[in-house]
């Protein structure tokens, strides 16, 4: 499995961009980077995923470095409702499509 | 489009008892995965069902078992409950077993074993 490393916690001011980093230096060529978030006591929510190109959707943007060893999830205008634990996951190939969650980053958005 | 639903929301069981948790997958999805999330930790993969067959299993003992039905809904059964089985149990559905398949989670069932 390619492991990921994320800072345990981050703060962000409401209305500002939240940039959440993730290191995945052992990622292999056919593995995707997925981001999920989990608001307290709820099920994880899918945010975005990508292979090598930058991706954007209505929730966030995903920037993957050219060597694919790290990525950044960007929430362009963080709100209090974005306070959650954010998980960066690298998909394990040929493993029953499972997700391997690490510790994640606890993002606190402050007024 | 109907999302993933789970029942019950909460339940309390006694050590040694058996429990069944239920999950209805998102419309159009044929694969269900189950995860266990202990307090303060990330979810841990239990197993996955694809077209009514187990399609992968994590490091959980055989007393954790499951079923998938023709309508792709699923059950998680846990026998001989232990105190450490207290956790949030999450169900996630996806389409097929493609490596790119995105999993969508339900709200979870909070199990407390006393």
Nearest CA-CA partner of B106 in B12, B19, B15, B21: B21
Terminal C-alpha separation, chain B: 38
pLDDT at B1: 53
Per-residue pLDDT tens digits for B76-85: 999 999 999 9
Nearest CA-CA partner of B61 in B86, B89, B81, B88: B81
Which portions of chain A are predicted below pLDDT 70? Answer: 1-2, 92-97
User: What mean pLDDT is predicted for residues B44-70?
Assistant: 93
pLDDT at B44: 95
Both tokens assigned to A80: 């209090």
User: What mean pLDDT is predicted for residues B2-26?
Assistant: 95
Terminal C-alpha separation, chain A: 38
Provide the number of CB pairs (under 8 Å) joining chain A to chain B.
Answer: 71
Give the β-pairing of B74-78 and A61-64. Answer: unpaired
pLDDT at A94: 46
Which residue from B102, B106, B108 is facing A46, i.e. has the nearest CB?
Answer: B102
User: What mean pLDDT is predicted for residues B43-56?
Assistant: 91
User: What mean pLDDT is predicted for residues B47-68?
Assistant: 93
DSSP secondary structure, B1-42, as one string: ----EEE-SEEEE-TT--EEEEEEPPTT--EEEEEEE-TTS-
Contact A49 B99 (CB under 8 A): no
Contact A93 B99 (CB under 8 A): yes
Contact B105 A43 (CB under 8 A): yes
Both tokens assigned to A31: 């593995």
């Amino acid at each position: 499995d390619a492991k990921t490393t994320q800072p345990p916690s981050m703060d962000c001011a409401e209305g500002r961009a939240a940039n959440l980093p993730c290191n995945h230096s052992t990622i292999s060529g056919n593995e995707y980077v997925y981001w999920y978030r989990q608001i307290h006591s709820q099920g994880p929510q899918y945010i975005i995923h990508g292979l090598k190109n930058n991706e954007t959707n209505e929730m966030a943007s995903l920037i993957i470095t050219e060597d694919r060893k790290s990525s950044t999830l960007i929430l362009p205008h963080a709100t209090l409702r974005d306070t959650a634990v954010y998980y960066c996951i690298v998909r394990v190939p040929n493993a029953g499509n499972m997700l391997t969650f690490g510790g994640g980053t606890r993002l606190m958005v402050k007024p | 489009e109907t999302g993933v639903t789970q029942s019950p929301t909460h339940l309390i069981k006694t050590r040694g008892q058996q429990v069944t948790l239920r999950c209805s997958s998102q419309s159009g999805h044929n694969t269900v995965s189950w995860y266990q999330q202990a307090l303060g930790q990330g979810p841990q993969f239990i197993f996955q069902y694809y077209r009514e067959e187990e399609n992968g299993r994590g490091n959980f003992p055989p007393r954790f078992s499951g079923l998938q039905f023709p309508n792709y809904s699923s059950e998680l059964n846990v026998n001989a409950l232990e105190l450490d089985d207290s956790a949030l149990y999450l169900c996630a559905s996806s389409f097929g077993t493609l490596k790119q398949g995105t999993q969508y989670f339900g709200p979870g069932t909070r199990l407390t074993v006393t």
